[in-house]
């Protein structure tokens, strides 16, 4: 067997594995979405969610691509920022989305990473609300969509700033976030 044939077989196997992992990620994302909907519905009495619609919605979204230049979770890149003043007692649902791209690695043996976080009133990563996306050694990844959510209680009149933060790992030499968006939805909570 020619060495190039062996290399092709290994690359095909790696691509097949990557597609399997992508399917699993989509499956788990669907489960996470279902859990979030169940959570929102469980904190309101039956029918109450529909009777009390959002009283505030705000968002930041961009058609641009932003380079991810920092490797620090204490001083990451801020790609979206949205302030909110809570009109009533309730809760805020913050949803951040973006497409991630990583083009190169310095160490062919190590996976490259990009971290994302949704924070409230801080510019450093929140360990309770962060995700790490791993790229394949050598080949990197492109077009990985990431979505992260958080739900926080909100006191009437209090003001907060939510941020969508990104950082790259040491092996991700060139990394970007495409079309980032940060959406805030406020819901009244009559029990609060």
Q: Could you give the CA distance from residue 111 to residue 136 in angstroms, rounded to a whole number? A: 5
Segment 162-172 mean pLDDT: 89
Res 50: pLDDT: 41
Report the candidate in 191, 127, 118, 117 with the shortest Cα–Cα distance to residue 152. 118
Q: What is the pLDDT of residues 10-29, one digit of tens each?
A: 778 878 777 787 877 777 77
Closest CA to 123 of 69, 178, 165: 165
Q: Is the pLDDT of residue 3 over 90?
A: no
What is the overall mean pLDDT for the chain?
A: 81
pLDDT computed for residue 18 by the predictor: 77
* Tens-place pLDDT, residues 174-191: 889 999 999 998 888 877
- The model's pLDDT over 29-88, given as tens digits with 9 standing for 90+, comes to 777 766 776 666 555 544 443 434 445 677 788 888 999 999 999 999 999 999 998 888
Domain boundaries, the chain: 1-42, 54-188
Q: What is the mean pLDDT of residues 159-185?
A: 89
Task: Give the architecture (CATH level 2) of 54-188.
Answer: Sandwich (2.60)
């Amino acid at each position: 067997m020619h060495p190039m044939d062996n290399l092709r077989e290994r690359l095909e196997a790696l691509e097949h594995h990557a597609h399997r992992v992508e399917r699993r990620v989509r499956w788990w994302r669907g489960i996470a979405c279902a859990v979030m909907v169940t959570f929102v519905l469980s904190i309101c009495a039956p029918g109450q969610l529909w009777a009390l619609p959002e009283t505030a919605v705000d968002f930041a979204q961009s058609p641009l691509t932003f380079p991810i230049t920092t490797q620090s979770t204490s001083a990451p890149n801020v790609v979206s920022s949205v302030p909110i003043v809570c009109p009533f007692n309730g809760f805020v649902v913050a949803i951040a989305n973006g497409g991630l791209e990583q083009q190169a690695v310095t160490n062919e043996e190590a996976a490259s990473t990009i971290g994302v976080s949704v924070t409230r009133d801080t510019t450093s990563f929140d360990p309770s609300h962060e995700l790490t996306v791993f790229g394949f050694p050598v080949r990197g990844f492109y077009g990985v969509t990431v979505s992260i959510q958080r739900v926080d209680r909100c006191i009437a009149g209090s003001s907060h700033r939510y941020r969508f933060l990104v950082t790259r790992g040491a092996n991700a030499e060139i990394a970007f976030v495409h079309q980032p968006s940060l959406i805030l939805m406020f819901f009244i909570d009559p029990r609060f």
